[in-house]
Amino acid sequence: MQKVLLPLALLFVLACPGAWAAEEAEAEEVPAKISSYVSLGDSMVLNLSNDNRRLTFLQLKADVLIADSEAEELIKTHVPAIRHKLIVLLSEQKANDMKSPAKREEIRKIATTQIQELMADIAGNNDISDILFSSFLVQ
């Protein structure tokens, strides 16, 4: 008899819509922030600082990770300023440093901080979470 009552009791609890209504209402109240990526456009090609006479180029494609997809249009509006900031930062780097994965990661973190500050200054926006280098070629 107990073997039959226990599954029936569980079935009743699961079928009761009132138990789930509170959780659904709570989930609807808090809008979820959706992260998304915004491309900074075509690849950028720039000269790197070099001690010898040989020219060294960096080809880079970058994307930004934004915390809130509603800020996407605002970020797209300021892509030229973001690209400029990246070009200035990266063109100051030594060619040998940019061949090191550890140094590239350090520069990426610096770029993220500078772009976040730039967006806070020009647009009052702090939705940029990260800068990602989706293509990185030193030649």
Q: Classify strands 44-47 and 128-138 as parallel, antiparallel or unpaired.
A: unpaired
pLDDT of residue 80: 94
Domain CATH code at residue 134: 3.30.479.30
99 falls within a domain: yes
Average confidence (pLDDT) over 16-23:
53
Range ranked top by mean pLDDT from 7-11, 38-42, 45-49, 123-127:
38-42
7 falls within a domain: no
93 falls within a domain: yes
Q: Are 47 and 91 in contact (CB under 8 A)?
A: yes
Task: Write the pLDDT tens digit of every residue in 64-89.
Answer: 999 877 788 888 999 999 999 999 99
85 falls within a domain: yes
Q: Are 61 and 134 in contact (CB under 8 A)?
A: yes
71 falls within a domain: yes
22 falls within a domain: no
Q: What is the domain count for the chain?
A: 1
Q: Could you tell me the pLDDT band of residue 14, with boundaries at 50, 70 and 90?
A: low
Q: Is the pLDDT of residue 31 over 60?
A: no
Average confidence (pLDDT) over 53-58:
84
As a whole number of angstroms, the distance between CA 17 and CA 39 comes to 44
State the residue range of the domain holding 129: 36-138
Average pLDDT for the chain: 80
**Cβ-count burial of 43 within 10 angstroms (0-12 exposed, 13-18 middle, 19+ buried)?**
middle
82 falls within a domain: yes
Tell me the two tokens of residue 82.
């973001």
